[in-house]
Structure 1
Amino acid sequence: MLSRSLTLAVLLAVASPLMAADGDTPLAQERGRSRPLIIIASSSVDSTLTTLKKQLDEPANKEGFAKRSMVLYTIVGLAGQRNGKEMDAQSTMALIRELKLGVLDKEQAQVILVGKDGEKKIDHKGPIDPKEIFSTIDQMPMAEKEAAAPAPVAPAAETKAAAQGGKPGKAGKGAAAAPPAGLDD
């Protein structure tokens, strides 16, 4: 009896992180909602990291970043951040594993853009201009669909009231009140 309980406990301890790893990764949580921009550098004074962060803090680039539903991940050494907030070590390692980076270049930082579909769109070593990143996003099919989203449709009651010159929700003078829809006896 004791050996069965011990065996079950060991199996759960080994299997739990493996099962949780599939859906709990940072990129899996961003999929369909935002476009992660990931900067991986060996030190916090890396020129690519500091320059790109400074450029993204400029008002025009900050607006473009938000407009395109982007989120910034930085990994310096083994410490990760999401939009300037510290990530725990497990989330940082899950992000590194999910990117399948292989051997990292100690000399140059790496910039990776991941689309809403979870696929890498840019994998660049060294400095990169935010305009190039924004241009890549603007050429994506998902960005085109978001830009071509139809305008919200006005409800029928407001449209009728506007045509009669009255206020929305009120029937015009002399108009017969229609029974509420969906009431069956």
Structure 2
Amino acid sequence: MLVRSLTLATLLCAASPLFAADSDAPLARELGKARPLVVIAPSSADPTLRGLSQAIKDPATEAGFKERALVLYSVANMIGMRDDKNLEQQATMALIRELKLGASKGTRVILVGKDGERHVLKDGDSAEPLEPQAIFKAVDELPASEKAITAPEPAAAAAAPTPDKPGAKQAKPAKPGKPSAPPKPLED
């Protein structure tokens, strides 16, 4: 019994980082689906962050964001948001870790492509806000290979049977078998 418990504990210790990596990586979830635009500001009153938040409320800018598959992530005062919806603290910290940024006093704006490549649009202490048109221009200038990337198909959709030829017979589904007998209890 002790051996089984130790084996189970060892397996859980080995597998737990893999489960954690899947659950708390916001940029990894967007890979192939959208282009995250990450704004890291020292406060929520930052002119760049406020300007982008106000610009997204404009229907024309919102349509430009949707057309280019942009998703706005913002971090201000260690509070993260994705499209004006709060992120959990663990997801916010994972976002900051995932970007691997050093210390900075100013606002940073980073565009992450569908392929995961990072493009810094603004870095530093400049007080001038970043216009949405500059962001759209940066997205439009991305290489064609990045624009062709799509989200990977789920494995179930790829395994769906397709008829090869119109006259070909399809395999019959297998009959369900008899249920097996319950296992015998182990003796220690």
Q: Which amino acid aligns with 2:30?
A: E
Aligned to 2:134: 132
Structure 2 length-normalised TM? 0.67
The 2-side partners of 1:46 and 1:13 are apart by: 42
Superposition misfits of 4+ residues, deviation over 4 angstroms: 1-4, 142-146
The 2-side partners of 1:112 and 1:184 are apart by: 53
Indicate the structure with greater helix content.
1
Q: After superposition, what is the alpha-carbon deviation per residue over 1:32-65, rounded to whole angstroms, capped at 9, x for unaligned?
A: 0000011111211111111121122222211101
Q: After superposition, what is the alpha-carbon deviation per residue over 1:56-104, rounded to whole angstroms, capped at 9, x for unaligned?
A: 2222211101100111111112211111111111111111100001213
Aligned to 1:77: 77
CA drift at 1:9: 3.2
CA drift at 1:15: 5.1
The 2-side partners of 1:49 and 1:60 are apart by: 18
Instruction: Note the residue ranges of structure 1 that are not aligned, 5 or more in a row.
Output: 147-180
Cα gap change, 1:43 to 1:97, in 2 (>3 Å): same
The 2-side partners of 1:21 and 1:45 are apart by: 32
SS in 1 for 2:114: coil
- Please tell me whether the aligned partners of residues 108 and 122 of structure 2 are also in contact (alpha carbons under 8 angstroms): yes
Aligned to 1:111: 109
Matching of residues 48-127 of structure 1 within 5 Å: 48-105=48-105, 108-125=106-123, 126=126, 127=129
- Please tell me whether the aligned partners of residues 21 and 94 of structure 1 are also in contact (alpha carbons under 8 angstroms): no
The 2-side partners of 1:117 and 1:86 are apart by: 25
Structure scoring higher RCO (CA < 8 A, sep ≥ 6) equals 2
Cα gap change, 1:53 to 1:184, in 2 (>3 Å): closer
Matching of residues 152-167 of structure 1 within 5 Å: none
Structure 1 length-normalised TM? 0.68
Instruction: Note the residue ranges of structure 2 that are not aligned, 5 or more in a row.
Output: 150-164, 170-188
The 2-side partners of 1:102 and 1:130 are apart by: 25
Cα gap change, 1:4 to 1:73, in 2 (>3 Å): same
Aligned to 2:179: none
Percent identical residues: 45
Aligned to 2:22: 23
Q: Which amino acid aligns with 1:120?
A: R
The 2-side partners of 1:89 and 1:50 are apart by: 21
Matching of residues 139-178 of structure 1 within 5 Å: 139-140=141-142, 141-142=144-145, 145=148
The 2-side partners of 1:102 and 1:120 are apart by: 15
The 2-side partners of 1:144 and 1:37 are apart by: 15
CA drift at 1:26: 0.6
CA drift at 1:6: 6.0
